[in-house]
Amino acid sequence: MTAAPPAVRVGVDVGGTKVEAVAIDAAGGILARMRRETVRGEAGVIASVSDAVARVAAEPGVGPVAAVGIGIPGQIVGARVRNAVNLGISDLDLGGEVTAAVGAAVHVENDVNAAAAGAYAIRGAVGASMAYLNLGTGIAAGIVHDGRVWPGAGGTAGEVGHVSIDPRGPECPCGQRGCIETLAGGGAVARRWSGDGEHPVLDLFDAADAADGRALSLRGDLARGVAAAVRVLVLTADPAVVVIGGGVSRLGDRLLDVVRGELRASSERSAFLTSLRLHERIELLPSDAPAGALGAALLAPAFEGVARG
C-alpha cells in the first residue's frame, strides 16, 4: 500500500481575457476560487496559469496541490496546445511548462470539453448523457456520455459550429459557407451587427426588441443557428439535456425564448422532431458557475469521478 496522495486538485480555465481557477477536494467540492487577467502569448499564458494555481493553492484550507487540469482553446495533442490563435499560441508544451513551474502533474484539455465535464457535475441528476453547448465567440459542444467526456477519435466530437446549414451563407474561416458559427457565433454576430457597444449581442437583442428590421433578421439567424446546433446534438448523441453556456448565454431567458421558439417552429411539420421535444431539452448553465475551471479540475489526473473517455 502506498500513502494516499494529497487530495486537492486545481482546475484552470484559460479564456481570452480571464483565467479562472478553482481548487477542489476529493469529493469535487470547491474549496477556493480566483480570477485574474490573461496575459497573451506563450510565456504570458504559462505565467498566468502558474500564478493562478499558486494563488488558489495559497487560499485558506487548500494546501498542497496533487494535480492540475487546464482547459484551454485550441487543438490539444497530449499536453501540447496548438493553434490557440486568440491567445497567441501556435505550438506550446503547456503541460510540461506548468508542471515545471508548479511541481504537480498536469492534464491539458480542450476548454469546451472541460466545461462540459464541469456542467455535468454542476447540473447533477442528468441521466446517462448530456451535451454542453458553448455559445461564445465561436460555437462548440462537449458530449458527456455515461459520465465521461467523449472526445471522438481525433478530438473533433462536438464541433457543431462548423456544420454548414446554408451553402450560400456567409464564408467561414474554416473554408465552408453558412456554418452554424457564422450565423450564431458571438464573434460573427458582432461583426455582422457592427454595433459599437461593448456588448454587441446584447445591443442586437435590444434593437430587435425595439423592432429594428436588421436586428430582427440577425437575431433570427442566431436563433436558427443555435436551434440547428441543438438538433444536430440530439440527433447524433441523444443527450437527455443540452446545457447552454458561454458568454452569449448570459442573455438568459431572452436567448432561451427565441431558441425555443425556433425549435418549436422547425418541428411543426415533423411528427418525428415534435416527438423529440427539443425545446424542452435545453437549459442554461447558471451564469456564475465556474464550469470550465471545475471541469478542468475534475479531469486532472487520478480523479476517480468524471474522467476523460
Contact footprint for Zn ion (CB under 5 A): 162, 172, 174, 176, 179
Q: Which is nearer to Zn ion, 69 or 161 (CB)?
A: 161
Contact 256, 280 (CB under 8 A): no
Q: Which is nearer to Zn ion, 207 or 229 (CB)?
A: 229
> Which residues make Cβ contacts (< 8 Å) with residue 86, sequence separation at least 6?
16, 40, 73, 137
Q: Which is nearer to Zn ion, 179 or 299 (CB)?
A: 179
Pairing of strands 139-145, 148-149: antiparallel
Q: Which is nearer to Zn ion, 168 or 269 (CB)?
A: 168
Contact 109, 76 (CB under 8 A): yes
Q: Which is nearer to Zn ion, 172 or 233 (CB)?
A: 172
d(CA 229, CA 243): 12
Contact 28, 122 (CB under 8 A): no
Residue 133 Cβ, how far from Zn ion at the closest point, in Å?
Answer: 16
Residue 68 Cβ, how far from Zn ion at the closest point, in Å?
Answer: 32
d(CA 165, CA 306): 33
Going by the DSSP 8-state scheme, the letter that residue 306 receives in this structure is S
Residue 228 Cβ, how far from Zn ion at the closest point, in Å?
Answer: 13
Residue 188 Cβ, how far from Zn ion at the closest point, in Å?
Answer: 10
Residue 172 Cβ, how far from Zn ion at the closest point, in Å?
Answer: 3
Using DSSP's 3-state secondary structure scheme, residue 140 falls into strand
